[in-house]
Amino acid sequence: MVKKHLLAYIVFILIIIFFPFFVKSSYTLSIAIFAGINALIAMGLSLLMGYAGQVSLGQAGFYGIGAYVSAILSLKFGIPPVLSALIAALVASVAAIILAIPALKLKGHYLAVATLGFGEIIYVILNELGPGGPSGFGDIPHISLLGYKFISATDHFYLIWIIVFLLIIFSFNIIDSRIGRAMRAIHDSETGSSSMGVDVPLLKTKVFVLSAVYASIAGSFYAHYVTFISPSTFSLFHSVLILTMVVIGGASSLWGAVVGAIIITALPEALRKFEELDVLIYGLILTLSLLFLRKGIVPTFIDKIKGKR
């Protein structure tokens, strides 16, 4: 089962290794880092949505928890960033469990609005109770691992994309296991799944927690990379952006989440030169790709290769 992904894994890691050799501009590199951060959140949402069939418009909430908890712990309490990120992931998991128990009973639009509400509440909390209020705070320490301090863009590029690489293997392994089969089974028929002994609410909650952990790790990385955070980064807008990445890339494919994250992150930068037309062109590209690549970029591409219609 690992074999079917092996080629993709190798190509992926080679691109990661060699990208900084060809791209020297620190600006481009920073965009690539943000793409990696978004890819992480999108992968979590892809597992939740594309595989287990549960929508979330609240991923920015977990992203924000990861950033704020880790930043505050390391800045105010001197906890090393890697440890503080782990604690943040734990906090995000607890938040996910508390939200999941009532929310995952809901379906479709109702689940979407419940998670949206959660994300907005976190956003308001960050604004009102976070250090610095709406303007945020800085001086967050960089990540250091085994005595090595990550400072340059190249350092951060390798770190985030290696995290993405490891977690994509982790995620594909889950998909190709009894857990992943049960997840997809829930997506197709909850009645059928529970008659097969799959504990539907429990499994949904677990996948939800997993997606929250991915988003939280992304948030912690963001905080320690940028070293300055403010609530506006973690608004509903970001949740919608992540959802767009997953849908554009192809919800039924983890690679789709990664590709979608790269495209959606890079597109606004590429459109900068159109100045006041950039939002319009961005919207048009999204609309057209949704209209013409309905399954998403990656699945459409795979179908082409396989020669299916």
Partner 1 sequence: MLTVLLQFLLSGITVGSIYALVGLGFNIIYNATSIINLAQGEFVVMGGLIMWFFSQSMQIPFFLSIVLTILVVGLIGLIMERLTINPLKNSDLLLMIMITVAVSIVFRGLLMYKFGKDPYNYPPFSEGEPFIIFGAVIQQQVLWVLFIALSCIGLIFFFFNRTMIGKAMSACAVNPTAAKLVGINVSRMIMLSFFLSAILGAIGGIAITPISLMEYDKGPALAVKGFCAAIMGGLGNGMGAVLGGFIIGVLETLTAGYIHSGFKDAVALVILLTILFFKPAGLFGNKSTLTVRKF
Partner 2 sequence: MLKIDGVWKTFGGITALMDVSFQVKKGEIKALIGPNGAGKTTLFNVISGVYKPDRGAITFEEKTISNLNPVKIAHLGISRTFQNVELFGRMTVLENVMVGRHIKSKAGFFSSGLRLPGMINEDREIRRLSEEILEYVGLKDKKDYLAGDMPIGSQRILEIARALATEPKMLLLDEPASGLNDAETRDLSLFIKKLRDEKDITVLLVEHDMGLVMDISDNIVVLNFGEKIAEGTPNEIRNNKHVIDAYLGEEDLF
* Minimum CB distance to partner 2 smaller for 1 or for 129: 1
Q: Which residues pair with 144 in a beta bridge?
A: 149
Amino acid in the structure at residue 133: G
Q: Among partner 2, partner 1, none, what binds residue 290 when CB lies within 5 to 8 Å by partner kind?
A: partner 1
Q: Are 38 and 242 in contact (CB under 8 A)?
A: yes
How many residues bind partner 1 (CB under 8 A)? The answer is 44
For partner 1, which residue of 13, 29, 106, 169 counts as binding (CB under 8 A)? 106
Between CA 53 and CA 62 the distance in angstroms is 19
Which residue shows structure tokens 């690549």?
Answer: 293
Rounded to the nearest 10 degrees, what angle do helices 26-46 and 200-226 cross at?
A: 170
User: For the purposes of burial, counting CB atoms within 10 Å of the CB of 301, is it exposed (0-12), middle (13-18) or buried (19 or more)?
Assistant: middle
- Return the range that interacts with partner 2 (CB under 8 A); candidates 61-69, 100-108, 154-162, 172-180: 172-180
Rounded to the nearest 10 degrees, what angle do helices 108-129 and 236-249 cross at?
A: 140
Smallest distance from the beta carbon of 50 to partner 1, in angstroms? 10
- The yes or no reply on residue 257 touching partner 2 (CB under 8 A) is no
Amino acid in the structure at residue 49: M
* Minimum CB distance to partner 2 smaller for 157 or for 214: 214
Residue ranges in 210-269 that form contacts with partner 1 under rule CB under 8 A = 236-237, 240, 243-244, 247, 251
- The yes or no reply on residue 182 touching partner 2 (CB under 8 A) is yes
Between CA 60 and CA 57 the distance in angstroms is 8
Between CA 256 and CA 250 the distance in angstroms is 5
* Minimum CB distance to partner 1 smaller for 88 or for 247: 247
Q: Are 220 and 66 in contact (CB under 8 A)?
A: yes
Which residue shows structure tokens 């992926």?
Answer: 12
* Minimum CB distance to partner 1 smaller for 84 or for 235: 235
Number of CB atoms found within 10 A of residue 139's CB: 8
For partner 1, which residue of 2, 15, 90, 105 counts as binding (CB under 8 A)? 105
Closest among 253, 241, 242, 228 to 283, alpha carbons compared: 241
For partner 2, which residue of 180, 219, 231, 249 counts as binding (CB under 8 A)? 180
* Minimum CB distance to partner 2 smaller for 179 or for 285: 179
- The yes or no reply on residue 226 touching partner 2 (CB under 8 A) is no
* Minimum CB distance to partner 1 smaller for 12 or for 123: 123
Smallest distance from the beta carbon of 273 to partner 2, in angstroms? 42
Which residue shows structure tokens 């950033």?
Answer: 67
Between CA 64 and CA 68 the distance in angstroms is 6
Q: Among partner 1, partner 2, none, what binds residue 174 when CB lies within 5 to 8 Å by partner kind?
A: partner 2
- The yes or no reply on residue 83 touching partner 1 (CB under 8 A) is no
Between CA 247 and CA 249 the distance in angstroms is 5
For partner 1, which residue of 109, 272, 308, 309 counts as binding (CB under 8 A)? 109
Between CA 228 and CA 231 the distance in angstroms is 11
Phi and psi torsions of 137, nearest 5° = -150, 160
- The yes or no reply on residue 229 touching partner 2 (CB under 8 A) is no
- The yes or no reply on residue 307 touching partner 2 (CB under 8 A) is no
Question: What residues make contact with partner 1 under the rule CB under 8 A?
Answer: 49, 53, 55, 102-103, 105-110, 112-114, 116-118, 120-121, 124-125, 127-128, 236-237, 240, 243-244, 247, 251, 276-284, 286-287, 290-291, 294
Question: What residues make contact with partner 2 under the rule CB under 8 A?
Answer: 1-2, 170-171, 173-174, 177-182, 184-185, 187-189, 191-200, 206, 210
